[in-house]
Copies of this chain bind each other. A is one copy, B any other.
């Protein structure tokens, strides 16, 4: 039998090795760009403007209403992604909804024939797409960092995001002050595209863990035990995890069901990440049986109209006899 108790030293150690460095390395003459002003991108962009009021920031989104909010906050207006690149910002952030959109934006940037740009892609995209974009940027004498985030809209608003960063050291150093303006944890994952890989690997395992905890909680309830005690026992034992402790999906435990599974990390986003992870796995011939089944369950969640709910809502699907 496995030991029921384990000490999680790691959870208490600092991950933020570089966070205390000074923000003084930014030149006042530099300019930056921000493309993609959605629920995440807009507050991230606004935090950059607030933190560096003297730096010129060009903002663009295909939705002009979103762009105008950034302009009111102090951003400069441009008419397109390529127009933004022509303004010669040294660093361009992207926070976009899909691989296709990121690829289209990078094509627009490269079409300007500019060089020396550092692209910081905060979108969650396929690691294979990410790697191909890294190569395209480098071959045209530009730089790239993949820096997908966790922390949700609240993290974006409060500058408490976690960035999973894939990049070379020198490129990372260059953008660190700006990442610090938008987040509080920077996890260095390795070289180009490693941030994308690790985010997807985490979320692949996370989805199945959430389903597994849902199953265990539902089984315990049906067999008559107190579900809060069950949660406590799991958290003290070998099945304890974030999904049992911090985001327990059972209707009678914790807050997320009590709040109608509103907010949190949405099932739609989990389904998107599962799709990216499984597609990348298929390309590399990786066997992902549980992740694939979890993806099917999240498709059912979406079909039931619960896609915008916290991904713990999968518990409801399982309980729906």
Q: Tell me if A294 is interfacial: C-beta within 8 Å of chain B.
A: yes
**Residues of chain B with a CB closer than 8 A to A40's CB:** 1
Contact B242 A202 (CB under 8 A): no
Contact A219 B240 (CB under 8 A): no
Whole-angstrom distance from the CB of A238 to the nearest CB of chain B?
Answer: 4
Whole-angstrom distance from the CB of A263 to the nearest CB of chain B?
Answer: 11
Residue of B nearest to A222 (CB): B284
Contact B185 A4 (CB under 8 A): yes
Interface residues of A in 215-249 (CB under 8 A from B): 215-220, 222-226, 229-230, 232-247
Interface residues of A in 3-21 (CB under 8 A from B): 3-8, 10-12, 15
**Residues of chain B with a CB closer than 8 A to A206's CB:** 2, 238-239
Contact A290 B230 (CB under 8 A): no
Contact B240 A286 (CB under 8 A): no
Contact B287 A218 (CB under 8 A): yes
Contact A220 B239 (CB under 8 A): no
Q: Tell me if A203 is interfacial: C-beta within 8 Å of chain B.
A: yes
Partner-contacting stretch, out of A24-32, A55-63, A137-145, A147-155: A147-155
Q: Tell me if A194 is interfacial: C-beta within 8 Å of chain B.
A: yes
Contact B203 A239 (CB under 8 A): yes
Dominant SS at the A interface?
Answer: helix
Choose one: B213, B216, B225, B286; the contact of A218 (CB below 8 Å). Answer: B286
Report Cα–Cα, A264/B3, bound state, in Å.
9
Contact B234 A5 (CB under 8 A): no
Interface residues of A in 26-83 (CB under 8 A from B): 40
Contact B3 A239 (CB under 8 A): no
Q: Tell me if A303 is interfacial: C-beta within 8 Å of chain B.
A: no
Contact A5 B15 (CB under 8 A): yes
Report Cα–Cα, A223/B215, bound state, in Å.
30
Q: Tell me if A101 is interfacial: C-beta within 8 Å of chain B.
A: no
Residues of A near any B CB (own CB < 8 A): 1-8, 10-12, 15, 40, 127-128, 149-152, 155, 161-162, 164, 185, 187, 189-190, 193-194, 197-198, 200-209, 211-213, 215-220, 222-226, 229-230, 232-247, 264-265, 269, 277, 280-281, 284-291, 293-294, 297, 318-319, 321
Given contacts A5-B11, A219-B288, 9 further A-B contacts (CB under 8 A): A4-B185, A8-B8, A189-B229, A208-B215, A219-B280, A219-B284, A222-B285, A240-B241, A287-B319
Q: Which 5 A-B pairs have the closest CB atoms?
A: A208-B212, A222-B284, A1-B150, A205-B239, A205-B216
